């Protein structure tokens, strides 16, 4: 009789302990991919890969019981992953379904300048109900992302970001580390009170402005939009008060993030990274938020293999990596230490939900082959009705 069978016949141990931890049920494992941005399937127009992105206002549940109004590409946060091969001809048809302005900026991608998505610099904003077609060639190789560049401070933290992965059939990292599974983690930080107030204020403003625009009544001072710097300076000399002078828009303070998400969710519903003993996994880290994160993995070192998509000449071994806003970093984790290990911001102010620890961007590296008996709780804890490790705890 092996240990497993012995446990089955034992009456002194509760039935619950016979089952693997909830984290490792087949359903839980199958559900893991759902927490990562799913790549979009393009349609082919000749040799052009065509993608369709739209933006709507939706309600996002960051954690069970806490919902906010957000902006979302294709009704999801983050937006769908665009995954193409180097040199592919790309067309993205972007449709604006909201009453706000937007654009899409392709962060880290060598697009023609008129495709760069910066309003008033490379294009006019994509106005309510309108669409814009972005066309470019997928270069360079690596982990990149896309995000809205209109009202960026609000629109990005409201959810308008998604990963853009450019693959190489002859992938240098794959060659070096021989991995199969990979994961994309998009980090963001949200001041949900700022998002709510500013989104309402912007919607209100736009209702007025669209009415005036429709009737061809564009007023440079009212819209705070000028042809040249000289024109602005002249207007100021004649008594015009730019919006920043009196800060006449609400809210008046800079946002102070109080929610920290990975792939649009906070602990305890952040995505977990699955690994097996002896397996290598690649994790693409993208900071689409406004805060710097210091991501630390327990029980392991990992290799930093790419920086802003670019393979580093000599992978660096480390256990904590700094992920600044706008940065993408690829890391390679070797499955060498079986168990369940947390991976989180070591600025633990970001391991909070609405100020409460634990929460935020806390997630776990989970060995699928962790034996259930290693996850057992002591008999005292079982009396509390808990089954096995890890346990979801929200109040430490």
Partner 1 sequence: MPKYYVLVNILLALVVAVAGQAVAEVTPEIQLGARGVMSLNTDIKNNQTTNAVSDFSDTDLMIGFRQKMYNRFRGQLVIGFQFPDAESDLGQVFFHQTFIKIEDKSNILKIGRSRVRTSLLDFPTLRDDDALLLTTVLNPFSNGENSEDHQYGNVLEYSHIFGQRVHFQIHAEHFKESPDTLGAAETDFGLNAVGLLLQYRVPVSQRWNRQIIQSVSIGTNNFLTDRPGYSSEYCQALKNVLFGFVINLKPDPVHFWDLRSQTVYNIGFDEVKEIGDFSDLARAEAIGNYTSIRYLYRRMERPTLQVALSGGYKDFPNATQPTNLFQVAGSLFYRIGFNFDVGLQVQYKEYSGDLRTIYGKNMTRVQFSLIYSIDQLWNNQFDDRESLLNLEHGYIP
CB under 5 to 8 A by kind: which of Cu ion, partner 1, none does 203 bind?
partner 1
Nearer to partner 1, 4 or 248 (CB): 248
Is 205 a binder of partner 1 (CB under 8 A)?
yes
Return the one option of partner 1, Cu ion, none that residue 58 interacts with (CB less than 5 to 8 A, by type): partner 1
Residue (196 or 300) nearer to partner 1, CB: 196
Residues 241-280 that bind partner 1 (CB under 8 A): 241, 246, 248, 251
Show contacts with partner 1 in window 44-63 (CB under 8 A).
57-59
Residues that bind Cu ion (CB under 5 A): 102, 148, 150, 155, 160
| Minimum distance of partner 1 from residue 179's CB (angstroms) | 41
Of 24 and 186, nearer to Cu ion (C-beta) is: 186
For partner 1, the binding residue among 197, 298, 300, 382 (CB under 8 A) is 197
200 near partner 1, rule: CB under 8 A: yes
Q: Could you write out the three-class secondary structure of the chain?
A: CCHHHHHHHCCCCCHHHHCCCHHHCHHHHHHHHHHCCCECCCEEECCEEEEEEEEEEEEEEEECCEEEEEEEECCECCCCEEEEECCCEEEEEEEECCCCCECCEEECCCCCHHHCCCECCCECCECCCCEEEEEEECCCCEEEEEECCCCHHHHHHCCCEEEEEEECCCCHHHHHHCCCCEEEEEEEEECHHHHHHHHHHHHHHHHHHHHHHHCCCCCHHHHCCCCCHHHHHHHHHCCCCCHHHHCCCCCCCCCCCCEEEECCECCCCCCCEEECCCCEEEEEEEECCCCCEEEEECCCCEEEEEECCEEEEEEEEECEEEECCCCEEEEEEECCCCCEEEEEECCHHHCCECCECCCCCCEEEEECCCCHHHHECCHHHHHCCCCECCCCCCCC
**Between 13 and 213, whose beta carbon lies closer to partner 1?**
213
Q: Does 208 bind partner 1 (CB under 8 A)?
A: yes
Residue 225 interacts with partner 1 (CB under 8 A)?
no
12 binds, among partner 1, Cu ion, none (CB under 5 to 8 A by kind): none
Considering only 130, 207, 349, 383, the residue that binds partner 1 (CB under 8 A) is: 207
Say whether residue 220 binds partner 1 (CB under 8 A): no
Give the nearer residue to Cu ion in terms of CB position, either 118 or 386.
118
**Closest approach of Cβ 92 to partner 1, in Å?**
25
Binding partner at 150 among partner 1, Cu ion, none, C-beta below 5 to 8 Å by kind: Cu ion
Q: Which residues bind partner 1 (CB under 8 A)?
A: 57-59, 67-69, 193, 196-197, 199-200, 203-205, 207-208, 211-212, 217, 221-222, 241, 246, 248, 251
């Amino acid at each position: 009789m092996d240990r497993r069978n012995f446990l089955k016949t034992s009456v002194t141990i509760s039935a619950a302990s016979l089952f693997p931890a909830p984290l490792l049920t087949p359903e839980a494992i199958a559900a893991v991919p759902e927490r990562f941005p799913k790549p979009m399937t393009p349609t082919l127009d000749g040799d052009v890969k065509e993608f369709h992105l739209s933006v709507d206002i939706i309600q996002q549940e960051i954690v069970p019981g806490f919902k906010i109004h957000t902006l979302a590409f294709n009704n999801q946060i983050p937006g769908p992953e665009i995954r193409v091969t180097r040199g592919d001809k790309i067309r993205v048809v972007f449709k604006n379904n909201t009453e706000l302005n937007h654009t899409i900026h392709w962060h880290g991608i060598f697009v023609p300048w008129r495709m760069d998505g910066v309003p008033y610099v490379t294009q006019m904003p994509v106005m309510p109900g309108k669409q814009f077609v972005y066309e470019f060639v997928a270069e360079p190789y690596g982990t990149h992302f896309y995000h809205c560049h209109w009202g960026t401070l609000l629109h990005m933290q409201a959810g308008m970001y998604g990963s853009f992965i450019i693959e190489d059939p002859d992938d240098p990292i794959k060659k070096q580390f021989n991995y199969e599974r990979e994961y994309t983690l998009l980090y963001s930080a949200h001041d949900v009170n700022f998002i709510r107030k500013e989104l309402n204020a912007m919607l209100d403003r736009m209702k007025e402005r669209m009415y005036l625009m429709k009737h061809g009544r564009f007023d440079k001072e009212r819209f705070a939009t000028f042809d040249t710097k000289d024109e602005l300076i002249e207007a100021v000399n004649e008594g015009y008060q730019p919006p920043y002078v009196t800060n006449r828009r609400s809210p008046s303070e800079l946002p102070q993030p109080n929610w920290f998400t990975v792939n649009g969710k906070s602990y305890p519903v952040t995505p977990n990274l699955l690994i097996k003993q002896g397996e290598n996994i690649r994790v693409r880290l993208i900071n689409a938020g406004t805060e710097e994160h210091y991501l630390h993995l327990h029980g392991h070192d990992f290799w930093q293999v790419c920086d802003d998509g670019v393979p580093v000449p000599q992978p660096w071994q480390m256990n904590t990596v700094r992920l600044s806003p706008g940065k993408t970093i690829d890391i390679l984790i070797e499955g060498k230490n079986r168990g369940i290990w947390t991976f989180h911001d070591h600025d633990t102010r970001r391991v909070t939900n609405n100020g409460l620890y634990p929460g935020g961007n806390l997630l776990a590296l989970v060995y699928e082959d962790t034996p259930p008996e290693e996850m057992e709780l002591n008999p005292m804890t079982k009396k509390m009705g808990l089954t096995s490790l890890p346990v979801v705890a929200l109040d430490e």
